[in-house]
Amino acid sequence: MKTQIIAAAVCSIFAAGAAFAAPVTAEGTGIGKHGDVTVAVTFDGNRITDIKIVKEQENPVLAKKVYTDLKALVQETSSVDVDVVSGATFTSKGLLDAVADAAKKAGVKLAKADRRALAKAGKSIPKNSTYDVVVIGAGGAGFSAAIEAKNAGANVVLLEKMPAVGGNSLISGAEMNVAQNWVQPKLGITDDSPELHAADTIKGGDNKGDPKVINVMTHNALDAAKWCRDYLGVRFEDDNLFFFGGHSRKRALIPFGHTGTEFISKFQAKADELGIPVITGMKAEELIKDQNGRVVGVKATMAGEEYTFNAKGGIVLATGGFGANPEMVKKYNPAIDERFKTTDAPGTTGEGLYMAERAGAELVNLSYIQTYPICDPISGVIELIADSRFDGAILINQEGKRFVEELERRDVISQAILAQTGAYCWVLWNDKIGAISNTVTTHPTEYEAFTKQGIMTTCDDLKCIADFTKIPYDSLKATTERVSSMTGKGNDKDFKHRAGLVDLSQGKYYVIKAVPSVHHTMGGVRINEKAQALTAEGKVIPGLWAAGEVTGVTHGTNRLGGNAYTDIIVFGRIAGKAAAEAAK
């Protein structure tokens, strides 16, 4: 209100055409990905002389360029008519809207951007350079490879096509399965083993994974986790583990904050400390082979310019999967069509797979694509706040009826949701369930953002939930009464809820709308136990290693929760070390 009064006064000064008005500062707000972005902008006439970020809660890794480069550009051009930072569209818009809002409040009319002022000087990267190891893709696999290669004595460079590092590894929940980890004994788990972890993984992927590769993953998991904890400084919860579906033991370590930000920020800090150049905005286009068939480099582009990176030891391909490429998803699995959005980072578009294929690698298991059932209908991201489902939240359709067992496999729930009216569902829980998982307090930014989007609400009673969701009240009441009459393990006559339903007769209630989204692509480059890329005949392609979601033999038909992080770190490290050795 105060700002508005100031703004009104300033507005009349400008309207009167006063040439010598003093600089004025006004606050403005826009909506980012995780809630409000508030800025204080100082204007001197129509020129922006300063922008301060007052409040924001965006992902620090993804938002970095928005608050540095984009902010500087807005100030330099005194305009919000500039391009958003790709990969951080929501945060960029939040900042631009906030500045526009401040301008409006200050009565300032911002200019259309001068396109010439936007032309940025190209970075001083040589057009042709030679390294021992070139790593492509700065997610968890790529960082692991680059750091290990450097520590094995190699001169290494890490190329990333997006403006920010992290890929899917950043936005993931980042739990990491490790048999015989240091938390298990505290929870009384003393009978886990890498063999058991491997057996669970093979079975969970319907025997389509490569047992040799899987065993390397599970037997190196503990060492990889200790490397993350002791060498990189990744902090894990000390007294808690996740128990994902398909595992016979509770074995997933949980990073602080329950996201990949904890890993990626530590990876970036270690790369900085070791002096590894991480070139963002550099897109690998084509692998280069010599006359003997060895991969010896990569052609890349940045802002339309071509660059060549020669690799004496070899290339580590760590470009992730193809979940954010809807055409490619549909091509390999026509059932996953345009109805699906994606949980994935925008750089997850799969061209790395084709690059490997053109270099002779075999691509396998491409039709195995995992969807996650409970995601934001607007952005496609996972609704972590709805993890209350693991503690008893129910899924209901627009008619107010349950339609699937809430703890079924991800693909089964996804298909069931698509069969409902509007191809969405509502997740409903109450304080009794909230008291166990506390997802609303664990994910306050989600709560704020989803509420603002109008897909989530909190109510004291069911009538209010019915009004918000437009579900017929009588049906909603009947469903919750029936659920409350069948609580406890073994009592759900309708859908056999395996953990047992929870009493829903009392509020406070929480409800959120959800749809399934593409989450993980299991297929990719065929590799061996040493992370070497293989041809269809099973021959090693010299000079080419691959690690992480770009590979296709670890997870079979279905990746078990918590196995992606184990996979990327174990094989990223193996690939980086081996490529460094090959350069000697």
Interaction of residue 348 with ligand ADP, rule CB under 6 A: yes
Alpha helix stretches (DSSP H) within 325-472: 326-332, 351-358, 410-418, 431-437, 439-442, 444-453, 462-469
Contacts of 240 (CB under 8 A, 6+ apart): 183, 254
* Closest distance to ligand ADP from the beta carbon of 143 (Å): 8
Interaction of residue 28 with ligand ADP, rule CB under 6 A: no
* First CA to last CA distance, the chain: 67
Q: Which of 140, 255, 400, 561 binds ligand ADP (CB under 6 A)?
A: 140
Interaction of residue 418 with ligand ADP, rule CB under 6 A: no
Question: Which is nearer to ligand ADP, 439 or 566 (by Cβ)?
Answer: 566
In this chain, which stretch among 21-29, 50-58, 162-170, 495-503 interacts with ligand ADP, using CB under 6 A? 162-170
Q: Of residues 251, 389, 410, 573, which has the active-site annotation?
A: 410
Asked whether the CA dihedral 375, 380, 383, 387 is positive or negative, the reply is positive
Please work out the total of residues on this chain that contact ligand ADP, with binding judged by CB under 6 A: 29
Residue 218 and residue 201 in contact, taking contact as beta carbons nearer than 8 Å? yes
Alpha helix stretches (DSSP H) within 471-540: 473-484
Contacts of 235 (CB under 8 A, 6+ apart): 229, 255, 256, 262
In this chain, which stretch among 138-146, 198-206, 302-310, 413-421 interacts with ligand ADP, using CB under 6 A? 138-146
Interaction of residue 159 with ligand ADP, rule CB under 6 A: yes
Interaction of residue 320 with ligand ADP, rule CB under 6 A: yes
CA 404 → CA 33, 150, 196, 290, 482, distances in Å?
A: 31, 50, 30, 55, 15
In this chain, which stretch among 49-57, 167-175, 391-399, 463-471 interacts with ligand ADP, using CB under 6 A? 167-175
Interaction of residue 283 with ligand ADP, rule CB under 6 A: yes
* Closest distance to ligand ADP from the beta carbon of 543 (Å): 17
* Closest distance to ligand ADP from the beta carbon of 372 (Å): 15
Interaction of residue 59 with ligand ADP, rule CB under 6 A: no
Q: Which of 35, 94, 137, 552 binds ligand ADP (CB under 6 A)?
A: 137
Q: Which of 29, 79, 91, 169 binds ligand ADP (CB under 6 A)?
A: 169
**Residue keyed to tokens 């460094």:** 580
Interaction of residue 516 with ligand ADP, rule CB under 6 A: no
Question: Which is nearer to ligand ADP, 204 or 320 (by Cβ)?
Answer: 320
Question: Which is nearer to ligand ADP, 61 or 152 (by Cβ)?
Answer: 61
Structure tokens given for 300: 């890349």
529-558: which residues touch ligand ADP (CB under 6 A)?
548-550
Contacts of 400 (CB under 8 A, 6+ apart): 466, 471, 472, 475, 476, 478, 479
Q: Which of 315, 462, 568, 582 binds ligand ADP (CB under 6 A)?
A: 568
In this chain, which stretch among 78-86, 156-164, 529-537, 573-581 interacts with ligand ADP, using CB under 6 A? 156-164
Question: Which is nearer to ligand ADP, 33 or 555 (by Cβ)?
Answer: 555
**Residue type for position 28:** G
Interaction of residue 286 with ligand ADP, rule CB under 6 A: no
Interaction of residue 142 with ligand ADP, rule CB under 6 A: yes
Q: Which of 44, 76, 81, 351 binds ligand ADP (CB under 6 A)?
A: 351
- The yes-or-no answer on residue 251 being catalytic is no
Interaction of residue 156 with ligand ADP, rule CB under 6 A: no
Question: Which is nearer to ligand ADP, 169 or 365 (by Cβ)?
Answer: 169
Q: Which residues of 203-230 are buried (b: 16+ CB within 10 A; e: fewer)?
A: ebbeebbbeebbbbbbbbbbebbebbbe
- Give how far the C-alpha of residue 79 lies from the chain's centroid of Cα atoms, to the nearest Å: 31
Q: Which residues of 61-86 are buried (b: 16+ CB within 10 A; e: fewer)?
A: bbbbbbbeebbebbbebbbbebebbe
Interaction of residue 148 with ligand ADP, rule CB under 6 A: no
Q: How far apart are CA 512 and CA 143, in angstroms?
A: 36
* Cβ atoms within 10 Å, residue 495: 17
* Closest distance to ligand ADP from the beta carbon of 401 (Å): 37
Structure tokens given for 565: 């992080």
Q: How far apart are CA 222 and CA 211, in angstroms?
A: 18
Interaction of residue 176 with ligand ADP, rule CB under 6 A: no
Q: How far apart are CA 439 and CA 435, in angstroms?
A: 9
Please count the CA atoms within 13 angstroms of the CA of 474 that sit on its side-chain side.
0
Interaction of residue 411 with ligand ADP, rule CB under 6 A: no
Q: How far apart are CA 413 and CA 504, in angstroms?
A: 21
Interaction of residue 262 with ligand ADP, rule CB under 6 A: no
**At 439, is the secondary structure helix, strand, or coil?**
helix
Binding residues (CB under 6 A) for ligand ADP: these are 136-142, 159-162, 166-169, 283-284, 318-320, 345, 347-348, 351-352, 548-550, 568
- Active site positions, annotated: 410
